[in-house]
Structure 1
Amino acid sequence: MLANKKGKILDVGAGGGPYAELCKEQGYNYTSQDFCQLDVDLLREGSYHPIDIVCDATTIPVDGFEYDYVLCTEVLEHTVDPALVVKEIARVLKIGGKIFLTVPQLAPGHQRPYWFYGGLTEEWIIRIFRDCGLEIESIGYPYRGPANLAKLCIANLSSNIKNLQKLNGLSVRLLLALPLNLLISISALVSAMLTDSLDSENNLGYGNFVIAIKR
């Protein structure tokens, strides 16, 4: 039995729990947290994973210095005050504990009515993490600027297809828009392949993956 040998990990905003089984298989003592107020149809997994702590992410009812690791993936943009969430994560982390966080920098609207920010910049992350006593070990994203425009176009195409599926009848405007949207998506992808390296300042970055440690 490997459980508890690798430390305690808190999954903040766990939702459908996409990392729950992996964490347990790897021997971590896994705890999930979520406010559990989102319509389950909006969850990628289609339902909530069993949530151990149901609460707001700004006030987690556990002692300070409780966890060795915290996961927080694609959550901050759905909170009214993301800085307070980071502060709470820092509170529950042990000294030397690590946070693994992903957050969009450019994102279309999703999971409404709990969508409060279109994205958070690298500069915001650096400033807030520093103020909360979290030292960033790495920050970045595997995809750069223009490539992410293609992602947004494809996301828009997917949204239009879902809208079409919801209609009882056919929408002429939507049917006409789909081929145009597909053409734009393909064009954006080709453009991305040719110009991606030109976005040296990551002004069009889709998001950030952050690893930080509590000092």
Structure 2
Amino acid sequence: MQEYIIHPDTHSRLVSIANDFLLFEDESRLPIHNGTPILFGVDSLFNSEDIINSKKTTQDREHLDTSNIKNFIRRKLLPALCEDFTIEKRYDVLSQLLPAESKVLIIGTGEKTAYYKNKFPHCKVITSDVHNEFQPDYIFDGHFIPFAEHCFDLVLAAQVIEHTINPWQFCKEMQRVTKVGGLLQIEAPQTFPYHAEPYDFFRFTFTGMRSLFTQCEVLKSEITEGNAAMVAVTISNYLINTSSIGIIRSSWLLITRLLLGWIKYLDRLQPVLNRRTVSMPKGYAFTFKKDELQRKSVELLNEFYELKR
């Protein structure tokens, strides 16, 4: 993908790569740290110094460490309050739509590098994030994607857009780097507690998400976790936050996970996305296809009325 790399600010093309920096046509440089290019623009919330100094920002890999008894109980023993029941099928279908050697960009890979590469084994998968906790291929801010126009067959951002301070710019950038006829996979919450503080900015309704992708048609939209999951998460979060004392908060976490973990299965009774089920789901998934048609706002809004009642 080196031939497609551009400077995130000037869009100057990459000229060469040295051991510790990338050199662009305008003679600007951006650093490489431990083998990973850091491609932040000047207006980004993030900076290369934090990466080099291993400052924790949006994620901390220690939360996955199950040698920690608290993490082990939370991640291995307690039932989850919500679950995306269709994610495996959704990504399998998405993979089947892509020809061999397709270029796939994952924005906000987190700890799922191996997962994404296994899901798209016949594709060239490029992973990225705003930190180096899990060693992505590139570190950059999705508001300023450092790749040329029309170079990816699929751009995927799962549970990322709510963490962008300017989702309009983020979505514009995603569409810019996607080929005409290419796909964009977006997953985001409508209802979920504040998290990854302070990098948590927005929630998205069905019509709100649709309005952000004006150059695309919707191939598929679905609820990832529904109204029942939202109820369980909200009750649990309320009870946990009735106290600032660690032992009480942990006790409520334990109790609510055990008592409410079954509620998410009620969402399977209402699998169809319609004007009733979109009232308060936990989240959505949209698969878009870029066609570069310019849609008016009223056209995007009218798609809501096409949902089954």
Please tell me the TM-score bracket, short chain as reference. 0.7 to 0.9
Answering whether residue 117 of structure 2 is matched by residue 21 of structure 1, we say yes
Aligned residue for 1:116?
201
For the pair shown, the structure with the greater C-alpha radius of gyration is: 2
Name 1:126's counterpart in structure 2.
210
Matched residue of 1:58: which SS? helix
- Structure 2 unaligned regions, length at least 5: 1-98, 292-309
Q: CA deviation at 1:208?
A: 0.6
Which residue, 146, 165, 182 being the options, matches 1:80? 165
Alignment of 1:138-157 (within 5 A): 138-154=220-236
Correspondence 1:1-215 to 2 at 5 A:
5-18=100-113, 19-23=115-119, 26-36=121-131, 47-48=133-134, 50-117=135-202, 119-130=203-214, 133-154=215-236, 167=246, 171=247, 173-174=248-249, 177=252, 181=256, 185=260, 189=263, 200-215=276-291
Q: Percentage identity across aligned positions? A: 23
Look up the equivalent residue of 2:226 and give its one-letter code: R
In 2, Cα distance between equivalents of 1:114 and 1:29: 29
Shift of 1:93: 0.4
What residue in structure 2 maps to residue 44 of structure 1?
A: none
Give, in whole Å, the separation in 1 of the partners of 2:210 and 2:216. Answer: 9
1:212 CA drift (Å): 0.3
Deviation at 1:196, TM superposition (A): 6.1
| CA apart distance, 1:120 | 0.8
The structural deviation recorded for 1:190 is 9.1
Rate the CA distance shift 1:111–1:147 in 2: closer, same or farther, 3 A: closer
Q: Take 2:173 and 2:264, find their aligned partners in 1: how far apart are those partners?
A: 42
Distance (whole Å) between structure 2 residues aligned to residue 214 and residue 11 of structure 1: 17
Q: Which amino acid aligns with 2:260?
A: S
Q: 1:142 to 1:34 in 2, by over 3 A?
A: closer
What is the distance in 2 between the residues matched to 1:151 and 1:199? 22
| 1:189 Cα deviation from its structure 2 partner | 2.4
Flag structure 1 segments of 5+ consecutive residues without an equivalent.
38-46
Give the deviation of 1:107 after TM superposition.
Answer: 0.8
Alpha-carbon deviations, 1:120-165, whole Å to 9, x = none?
Answer: 11111111112xx0111111114432342124445677x78xx87x
Closer, same or farther in 2 for the Cα pair 1:208/1:176, shift >3 Å? closer
Which residue number in structure 2 is paired with residue 41 of structure 1?
Answer: none
1:20 CA drift (Å): 3.1
How well do the aligned residues superpose, as a CA RMSD in angstroms?
Answer: 3.5
C-alpha displacement of 1:191: 11
Please report how far the alpha carbon of residue 22 of structure 1 lies from its aligned counterpart in structure 2 after TM superposition: 1.3
Offset of 1:57 from its aligned partner? 0.4
C-alpha deviation, 1:83, in angstroms: 1.4
1:55 and 1:90 mapped to 2: Cα distance?
Answer: 16
Asked if structure 1 preserves the Cα contact closer than 8 Å seen for 2:222 and 2:285, the reply is yes
SS of the counterpart of 1:129?
Answer: coil
Given residue 115 of structure 1, which amino acid in structure 2 is its aligned partner? Answer: D
Higher normalized contact order (CA 8 Å, seq sep 6+, divided by chain length)? 1
Q: Which amino acid aligns with 1:189?
A: I
CA contact (8 A) 1:137 1:213 kept: yes
Q: Name the SS of the counterpart of 1:209 in structure 2.
A: strand
Alpha-carbon distance in structure 2 between the residues aligned to 1:191 and 1:10: 32
TM-score, normalisation: structure 1: 0.72
